[in-house]
A and B are shown apart, each in its own frame.
Chain A
Amino acid sequence: MISNFILAPIFAHMFTAVLLMFFWKRVQAQKIISIIGNSIAFIMCWRLFSATWKYGNITLQLGGWEAPFGITFVSDTLSAVMVLLTAIVSLSVGIYSTSAINISRIKYGYFFIYHFLIMGLMGAFLTGDIFNLYVWFEVVIISSFVLLTLGGKKRQMEGAVKYVTMNMLASVIFLTAIGILYGITGSLNIADLANQVAIIENRGLVTVTSLLFFVGFGIKSAVFPLYFWLPSSYHTPPSAIGAIFGGLLTKMGVYSLFRVFTIIFKPDDFILQVFIVIAILTMISGAFGVINKRNIRRILSYFIVCHIGYLIAGIGLYTELAFVGVIFYLIHDVIVKSNLFMMSGLIQKIRETQDITRLGGLYKDYPKLSLIFAVILFSLVGIPPLSGFWPKIMLFQEAFVQKQYVLLGTLIFASFITLFIVARIWSEVFWKDLLKPNSEEIDHFAPFSKSGKIALILPITALAGVSLYIGLNAPVIIEVSERVAHEMKNPSIYIDAVMKNLK
């Protein structure tokens, strides 16, 4: 029975989505169903995580078809962590959406698409079949297209064209890579692929295929030469949608990179070198991009690009300690990035602008809220003991030990730029006096009903609390990360779990 339980997170969202379709135009009912569905899914994800933590990897052979032939679902520690993070973010953003998303969007099926997107993410994190991963990717990107264009302002349309084009291109490249991989191995199961790829003699072909995967996932996770679609589209949709995109969609690409390059392919020195160079360039381009931006959302978009570089650098180093750092960073980043986007939405509600030169005086008007924002911002920078600090230290240390001094320099440089920009946001938005006094009608936040205010503030506070927990209870997170890193470094654990039924 326990193995069917893997699908529970997927089904919780699927049922919610189907149920929402029956309540198409009923806004209030949609909000309630969405919150209940998200809460149930969160409980399921928590139980899946604790079961995986306790009993080790859980697998499910769909329809009873044994491993290399049927579709496998696997929950190893990495999957379970990602699923749990998705559930946390989805629950908070779901609550935030009930107040932040306007009624016309909800009538067009916002919550339905939202749950569909989350279902796709859960599926992508849990599947053990490379083609199934492609299908879940498509579920996610189609939902994200709809979310991005829902409401249809001109600005949104312009962002959407770039986003849609690049993501469709990435899908085709991913599909091509799957086709070639199937041609050379005759299998689609990730665990089986790992065994098959290892015995292929034509290593050149394997390297080319792995690089095709890197390009496909690279576009989705916005690495150096392929990142430009992200800053030109992520600032256009409403902040709740931005929170899901910024927190989870790029991480899905990174997760797939982890899967493909730790289990299926064993990167040689050349590929690792490529990773490190790409990571350095990603961090530099993100850091330079962020310096001259004035719009908070655009700053956040470039931060996403910049910090993807950290994760890619971790793969490039390819040691267990580097993996620990990367997983810790991933956990920290998903929570903080989603929260930052929600924060930017709240600032927009209060001041009707995202331009930091025109903002100001927030600390004077909303001191308690500003303290929560401070926790989020300083977690992002990693001021000790907040959550960003520990993984950065680990990555610095590992880059130093591996004698990757250029990488080390870039990591430190990117951290400094992050610190500089966050300090600037803090002084411009919170400390500086407002240029012209705020008139009553600009503040859309004050006239909100009490429950509306709670729905906006509660998720932000909760995620800030999670960030604090991650920072203050670092040993717990390090223990989780160590186990994930151990499994990533020893893919045989994953392979054995999937193939154990094969006599």
Chain B
Amino acid sequence: MKRYRSKKEQDQTILRTATNYLLPVLLLFSVFVLLRGHYLSGGGFVGGLIASIAFVLHSFAYSTKQTLSLFQFSPMALIPAGLALSILSGLLPVLLGLPFMTGVWFADSVAVIGSVGTALFFDIGVYLVVIGVVLTILFTIAENV
């Protein structure tokens, strides 16, 4: 039995199907890039870009509205959360009497993630800010133009 779809939907079948699988893969990859960032190439900024590109791809395949509905909140809320996390991780060494932003590390390393320290939390903050900023900017432009 033939199913009738709108023209636009038919055009994007391949992209949509691919996006459904790509979105989680890209998000996982972005987390991987984020975590390996301290000693190898990668980090919060690149990870955040990859994650936001995944959402942008989703918005190409579907629409901006549907992409926003993936979030329980506005992507803009990620900006203050990420900023706060980064600042607090930078301020932690200050409480210990060290210069601002000095790396403070836990002695034991965690499986999969590796050693955990303030640098990791700073990077996670950057990751969140980048996703928030990029999505806010791109979706604002997409709505206006």
> Residues on A close to B: CB < 8 A?
1, 3-4, 7, 11, 14-15, 18, 21-22, 60-64
Given contacts A18-B84, A21-B79, A22-B80, A63 and B99 within 8 Å (CB-CB): yes
Contact B99 A18 (CB under 8 A): no
Stretch at the interface among B17-25, B30-38, B100-108: B100-108
Q: Which residues of A contact B103 (CB under 8 A)?
A: 63
Q: Which residues of A contact B83 (CB under 8 A)?
A: 14, 18, 21
Q: Which of B79, B87, B98, B102 contacts A15 (CB 8 A)?
A: B87
Contact B99 A4 (CB under 8 A): yes
> Residues on B close to A: CB < 8 A?
79-80, 83-84, 87, 91, 94, 97-103
Q: Which 9 A-B pairs have the closest CB atoms?
A: A21-B80, A63-B101, A64-B102, A64-B99, A18-B83, A18-B80, A63-B102, A4-B94, A62-B101
Contacts A14-B87, A62-B101 known; 17 new A-B pairs at CB < 8 A: A3-B99, A4-B100, A7-B100, A11-B87, A11-B91, A14-B83, A18-B83, A18-B84, A18-B87, A21-B79, A60-B100, A62-B99, A63-B99, A63-B100, A63-B101, A63-B102, A63-B103
**A3 CA / B97 CA spacing, docked (Å):** 10
Which chain A residue has the least Cβ–Cβ distance from B79? A21
30 A–B contact pairs at CB < 8 A? A1-B97, A3-B99, A4-B99, A4-B100, A7-B100, A11-B87, A11-B91, A14-B83, A14-B87, A18-B80, A18-B83, A18-B84, A18-B87, A21-B79, A21-B80, A21-B83, A22-B80, A60-B99, A60-B100, A61-B99, A62-B99, A62-B100, A62-B101, A63-B99, A63-B100, A63-B101, A63-B103, A64-B98, A64-B99, A64-B102
B135 to chain A, nearest CB (A): 15
Q: Which residues of A contact B100 (CB under 8 A)?
A: 4, 7, 60, 62-63
* Interface residues of chain A: helix, strand, loop or mixed (majority): helix
**A63 CA / B90 CA spacing, docked (Å):** 9
Q: Which residues of B contact A60 (CB under 8 A)?
A: 99-100
B43 to chain A, nearest CB (A): 16
A466 to chain B, nearest CB (A): 31
**A63 CA / B84 CA spacing, docked (Å):** 18
Q: Which residues of B contact A1 (CB under 8 A)?
A: 97
**A175 CA / B80 CA spacing, docked (Å):** 29
A331 to chain B, nearest CB (A): 29
**A7 CA / B84 CA spacing, docked (Å):** 16
B63 to chain A, nearest CB (A): 25
Which chain B residue has the least Cβ–Cβ distance from A61? B99
**A14 CA / B97 CA spacing, docked (Å):** 21
A9 to chain B, nearest CB (A): 13
B87 to chain A, nearest CB (A): 6
A33 to chain B, nearest CB (A): 13
B16 to chain A, nearest CB (A): 33
Give the residue among A22, A60, A61, A64 with the most B Cβ atoms within 10 A. Answer: A64
